[in-house]
Structure 1
Amino acid sequence: MSSRTVDELDAVIEQVLRDGELVHEHPTPGTWLVDLPGTKKLKTVCGLVVGEHALRVEAFVCRQPDENREQLWTFLLQHNARMYGVSYSIDNVGDVYLTGRLPHAAVTAEELDRILGSVLSYADDHFNTMLEIGFGTSIRREWDWRVKRGESLRNLEAFAAFADPSRRGDAAPAGEE
Structure 2
Amino acid sequence: MSEGIGEARTARAVVVAALDAVIDRTLRDAELVHEHPAPGRWLVDLPGTKKLKTVCGLIVGEHALRVEAFVCRQPDENREQLWTYLLQHNARMYGVAYSVDRVGDVYLTGRVPHAAVTPEELDRLLGAVLNYADDHFNTMLEIGFGTSIRREWDWRVKRGESLRNLEAFAAFAQAGRTEPADGGGAPPPESGG
Normalising by structure 1, we get a TM-score of 0.92
Q: Which has the larger radius of gyration?
A: 2
Amino acid in the other structure paired with 1:135:
F
Number of the residue aligned with 2:19? 9
Number of the residue aligned with 1:29? 39
Number of the residue aligned with 2:80? 70
Higher relative contact order (CA 8 A, sep 6+): 1
Structure 1 distance, partners of 2:132, 2:72, is 12
Amino acid in the other structure paired with 1:136:
G
1:61-117 deviation digits (Å, cap 9, x = unpaired): 000000000000000000000000000000000000000000000000000100000
Unaligned runs of 5+ in 1: 168-177
Number of the residue aligned with 1:97? 107
Runs of 4+ in 1 over 6 A off after TM superposition: none
Which structure 2 residues correspond to residues 107-146 of structure 1 after superposition, within 5 A? Answer: 107-146=117-156
Q: Report the secondary structure of 2:95's partner residue.
A: coil
Aligned CA-pair RMSD: 1.6
Structure 2 distance, partners of 1:100, 1:31, is 15
Structure 1 distance, partners of 2:113, 2:122, is 11
Structure 2 distance, partners of 1:33, 1:68, is 31
Structure 2 distance, partners of 1:92, 1:19, is 36
Give 2:116's match in structure 1, choosing from 106, 110, 129.
Answer: 106
Structure 1 distance, partners of 2:77, 2:70, is 19
Give 2:62's match in structure 1, choosing from 52, 65, 69.
Answer: 52
Q: Report the secondary structure of 2:161's partner residue.
A: coil
Structure 2 distance, partners of 1:165, 1:86, is 33
How many aligned residue pairs are there?
167
Structure 1 distance, partners of 2:175, 2:162, is 18
Once the 2 structures are TM-superposed, how far is the Cα of residue 126 of structure 1 from its aligned partner?
Answer: 0.1
Normalising by structure 2, we get a TM-score of 0.84
Amino acid in the other structure paired with 2:140:
M
Structure 1 distance, partners of 2:109, 2:56, is 9
Amino acid in the other structure paired with 2:65:
L
Give 2:162's match in structure 1, choosing from 152, 156, 161.
Answer: 152
Structure 1 distance, partners of 2:103, 2:40, is 27
Once the 2 structures are TM-superposed, how far is the Cα of residue 127 of structure 1 from its aligned partner?
Answer: 0.1
1:21-54 deviation digits (Å, cap 9, x = unpaired): 0000000000000000000000000000001100
Q: Report the secondary structure of 1:5's partner residue.
A: helix
